[in-house]
C-alpha cells in the first residue's frame, strides 16, 4: 500500500501541471499590501478585496499612513469587505507595530508576524510564501480545509491541526505552492457544492470521488 506522502506527491505533481501559475489571487505589489489584503480577505472573497484595495492603497500610501488613519474613516473605506470594524482596528494597530517595532517593514518570520493584530498562521503563511518565498507552514483556508478532508489528508476540523497533519505528509519543498494549488483546484473543480469529479485530474487519488460521481 502506498503511503500518504507518496500519494500527496502524485497529487502535487498533477496539480502543478494543471495549474502551473498557481499563486495568490490577491493583487499586491509589496509585503505590506499583501498583509492588508489578506487581513481583509477573512470571510470575504479575493475578488471583493481586489476591488477595494486599488483605491485604498491610493488613499493610504504607506505603513505610516495606515498607522495614522482614523478608524471611522478606514471602516468606511473597507466596509464592503465585511467585519470592517475589527479589520480596520487590526490594520491600524498592525501598522503601528510595524512602524514602531519593525522599522516600517513587514517582518519575515512566523514568530514575528503572528504578533501583529489580525494575523494568525494562515495570513502569516500567505505573506511568507508569496512575499518572501519562505515556507514555515501551509496556509489553511476554506479550500484547503475542504480538499484536505475530501482527499483524506486530514480528519481534523481545526485549521491549526489540519496544518500540522499536512506538514507531516507534504514534503517541505512543496509547502510554498500547496495552498495555491488546492485553492485553484477548489475553485476550478472541487467546489463545495457539486464538484466536477468525473473531469477531475486527481479523481483516481481521491477517496471521496465516488461520493460525488453520479453518472
pLDDT, residue 52, reads 98
Hey, which CATH number is domain 31-132, 3.30.70.260, 3.90.550.10, 1.10.340.30, 3.40.640.10? 1.10.340.30
pLDDT in tens, 51-104: 999 999 999 999 999 999 999 999 999 999 999 999 999 999 999 999 999 999
State the pTM of this model: 0.91
Give which of 40, 65, 63, 60 is closest to 50, Cα–Cα: 40
Q: What percent of the chain has pLDDT over 70?
A: 98
pLDDT, residue 21, reads 86
23 or 73, which is more confident: 73
Radius of gyration of the chain (CA): 18
Q: Which residue has the cell 503601528?
A: 96
Hey, which CATH number is domain 4-22+138-212, 3.30.70.270, 3.40.1360.10, 1.10.1670.10, 3.30.465.10? 1.10.1670.10
Confidence of residue 212 (pLDDT cuts 50, 70, 90): low
- Start-to-end CA distance of the chain, whole Å, equals 29
Residues with active-site annotation? 122, 141
- Indicate the domain borders of the chain: 4-22+138-212, 31-132
Confidence of residue 4 (pLDDT cuts 50, 70, 90): confident
Supply the DSSP symbol for 198: G
Grid cell at residue 87: 479589520
* pLDDT at residue 215 tops 80: no
Amino acid at each position: 500500500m502506498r503511503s500518504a506522502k507518496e500519494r500527496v506527491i502524485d497529487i502535487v505533481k498533477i496539480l502543478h501541471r494543471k495549474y502551473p501559475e498557481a499563486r495568490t489571487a490577491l493583487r499586491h505589489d509589496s509585503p505590506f499590501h499583501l498583509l492588508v489584503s489578506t487581513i481583509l480577505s477573512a470571510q470575504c472573497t479575493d475578488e471583493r478585496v481586489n476591488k477595494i484595495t486599488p483605491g485604498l492603497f491610493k488613499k493610504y500610501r504607506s505603513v505610516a499612513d495606515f498607522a495614522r488613519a482614523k478608524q471611522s474613516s478606514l471602516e468606511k473605506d473597507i466596509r464592503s469587505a465585511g467585519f470592517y470594524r475589527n479589520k480596520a482596528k487590526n490594520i491600524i494597530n498592525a501598522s503601528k507595530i510595524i512602524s514602531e517595532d519593525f522599522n516600517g517593514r513587514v517582518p519575515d518570520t512566523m514568530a514575528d508576524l503572528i504578533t501583529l493584530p489580525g494575523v494568525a498562521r494562515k495570513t502569516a503563511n500567505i505573506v511568507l510564501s508569496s512575499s518572501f518565498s519562505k515556507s514555515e507552514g501551509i496556509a489553511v483556508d476554506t479550500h484547503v480545509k475542504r480538499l484536505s478532508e475530501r482527499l483524506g489528508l486530514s480528519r481534523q476540523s481545526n485549521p491549526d491541526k489540519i496544518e500540522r497533519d499536512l506538514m507531516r505528509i507534504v514534503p517541505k519543498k512543496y509547502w510554498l505552492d500547496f495552498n495555491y494549488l488546492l485553492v485553484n483546484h477548489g475553485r476550478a473543480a472541487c467546489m463545495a457544492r457539486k464538484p466536477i469529479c468525473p473531469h477531475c485530474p486527481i479523481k483516481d487519488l481521491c477517496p471521496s470521488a465516488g461520493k460525488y460521481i453520479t453518472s
